[in-house]
């Protein structure tokens, strides 16, 4: 959602998409500014003491016990004036995440690209970019993205991945309205390695508007069509992905296995609305996201509710932020995900902060829809914690 302050690198990316990256950002340093060309450097270094499940969320690999997980992000934002009212823009951000890497211990290597796009900022006529970035529907589901490490498992939008490759993205801002459109071409990257589908095409749209100074309402949808080759070598993977949801629809195990082996194509639609108050990091902030997901090969919708509430003190204990959130997902009356997340952070200054976060599973039953193997891969229904420090630049 649009915000005048950028409390995370993802908000920084959204700002660039809207053509607003400048030296006034909370983080980032302008390292070059001559002849109409500017280059901004930004990033963060983070180290956290985490449990084995949080470690898996962060790295995509297992840890037998509590451990220290360290990470780094490094990004560049570029802008070049072409003509009056028209700039060329680009952004790239790498991090040390191993979530989408093939294998191996790559911690410390900036080998994962989160954002990489180039395009044009025509100011009042909008911003058009191409490359890897957030889909338009993130405007809705991102309203509750306020925690340093803990991630909501509510929205099924994130099952196909967070930042999407091979996209064209357009954003237009005016008169307290924001419009975003995105289109994704064919891609073999659909979520993480245990998701046995390739994206054939996807498109998203969102619109948001402000009521007064503090209330923002957003609505959007995301459509994804994917392929599954169904080859004999992938039968086991297909069954782990499709069979549990078919059984949830009333098929016998044998019928579900046969149906899974013939499931070559599919599509899903995510849609929902977000209502938020304030700006995260400046006083009181609250957000409610209500959404639904429909796969064309299952009988019912997945319904989700995700909430976030935070307060950042500005006087006696300036820099202290208290946060809480609740996320739930259900299918045909069965509660799959029910997570309570609590957080506390303290900013010593604009760059350095410490934080503590915990997520509690309130008896969700994700196995009902996803199956035991997929629940383990997705890391659902687990209690988690993190204690960490972060330096932003």
For residue range 95-118, list pLDDT tens digits in order.
887 555 444 445 557 778 899 999
Q: Which of 48-62, 286-300, 304-318, 338-352 has the lowest mean pLDDT?
A: 48-62
**Tell me, what's the pLDDT at 346?**
97
Q: What are the angstrom distances between the C-alpha of 318 and each of 8, 11, 50, 157, 297? A: 19, 22, 26, 35, 51
Question: Of 27, 15, 34, 106, which Cα lies nearest the Cα of 74?
Answer: 27
Do 46 and 388 contact (CB within 8 A), yes or no?
yes
Mean pLDDT along residues 217-240? 78
Question: Which backbone phi and psi does 263 adopt, to 5 degrees?
Answer: -90, 90
pTM of the model: 0.89
Do 18 and 77 contact (CB within 8 A), yes or no?
no
Q: Angle 259-261-262 (CA atoms, 0-180°, nearest 5)?
A: 65
Residue 1 has pLDDT above 90, yes or no: no
Question: Of 54, 51, 75, 79, which Cα lies nearest the Cα of 65?
Answer: 51
**Tell me, what's the pLDDT at 39?**
96
Three-class DSSP category at 232: helix
Buried b (16+ CB within 10 A) or exposed e, 285-311: bbbbbebbbebeebebbbbbbbbbbbe
**CA diameter of the chain:** 68
Q: Angle 121-161-95 (CA atoms, 0-180°, nearest 5)?
A: 70
State how far the Cα of 252 lies from the Cα of 380, in Å rounded to an integer: 25
What region does 35 belong to: left with phi over 0, alpha with psi -120 to 50, or beta? left
Do 164 and 182 contact (CB within 8 A), yes or no?
yes
Burial class (CB in 10 A: 0-12, 13-18, 19+), 365: middle
**Tell me, what's the pLDDT at 240?**
80
Residue 301 has pLDDT above 80, yes or no: yes
**187 secondary structure, DSSP code:** B
Please count the other Cβ atoms lying within 10 Å of the Cβ belonging to residue 64. Answer: 7
36: which residues sit within 8 A by CB, 6+ positions away?
Answer: 80, 81
**Tell me, what's the pLDDT at 262?**
78
Three-class DSSP category at 52: helix
Percentage with pLDDT > 90 across the chain: 66
């Amino acid at each position: 959602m649009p915000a005048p302050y950028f409390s995370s690198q993802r908000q920084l990316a959204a700002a660039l998409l809207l053509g607003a990256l400048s030296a006034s950002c909370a983080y980032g340093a302008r390292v070059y500014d001559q002849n109409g060309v500017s280059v901004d450097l930004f990033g963060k270094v983070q180290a956290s003491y985490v449990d084995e499940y949080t470690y898996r969320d962060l790295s995509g690999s297992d840890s037998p016990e509590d451990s220290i997980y360290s990470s780094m992000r490094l990004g560049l934002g570029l802008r070049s004036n072409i003509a009056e009212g028209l700039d060329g823009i680009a952004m790239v951000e790498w991090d040390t995440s191993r979530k989408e890497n093939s294998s191996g211990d790559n911690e410390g290597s900036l080998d994962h690209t989160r954002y990489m796009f180039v395009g044009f900022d025509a100011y009042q006529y909008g911003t058009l970019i191409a490359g890897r970035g957030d889909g338009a529907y993130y405007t809705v589901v991102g309203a509750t993205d306020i925690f340093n490490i803990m991630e909501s498992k509510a929205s099924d939008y994130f099952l196909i991945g967070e930042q999407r490759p091979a996209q064209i993205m357009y954003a237009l801002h005016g008169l307290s309205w924001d419009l975003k459109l995105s289109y994704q071409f064919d891609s073999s990257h659909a979520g993480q390695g245990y998701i046995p589908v390739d994206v054939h095409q996807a498109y998203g749209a969102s619109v948001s508007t402000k009521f007064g100074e503090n209330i923002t309402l957003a609505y959007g949808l995301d459509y994804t069509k994917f392929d599954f080759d169904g080859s004999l070598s992938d039968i086991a993977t297909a069954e782990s992905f499709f069979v549990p949801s078919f059984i949830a629809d009333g098929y016998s195990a044998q019928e579900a296995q046969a149906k899974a082996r013939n499931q070559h194509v599919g599509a899903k639609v995510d849609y929902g609305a977000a209502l938020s108050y304030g700006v995260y990091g400046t006083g009181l902030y609250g957000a409610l996201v209500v959404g639904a997901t429909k796969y064309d090969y299952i009988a019912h919708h997945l319904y989700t509710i995700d909430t976030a509430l935070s307060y950042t003190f500005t006087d006696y204990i300036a820099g202290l932020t208290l946060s809480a959130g609740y996320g739930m997902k259900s299918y045909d009356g069965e509660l799959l995900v029910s997570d309570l997340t609590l957080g506390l952070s303290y900013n010593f200054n604009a760059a350095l902060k410490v934080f503590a976060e915990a997520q509690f599973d309130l008896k969700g039953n994700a196995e009902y829809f996803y199956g035991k193997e997929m629940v383990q891969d997705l890391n659902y229904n687990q209690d988690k914690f993190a204690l960490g420090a972060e330096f932003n630049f």
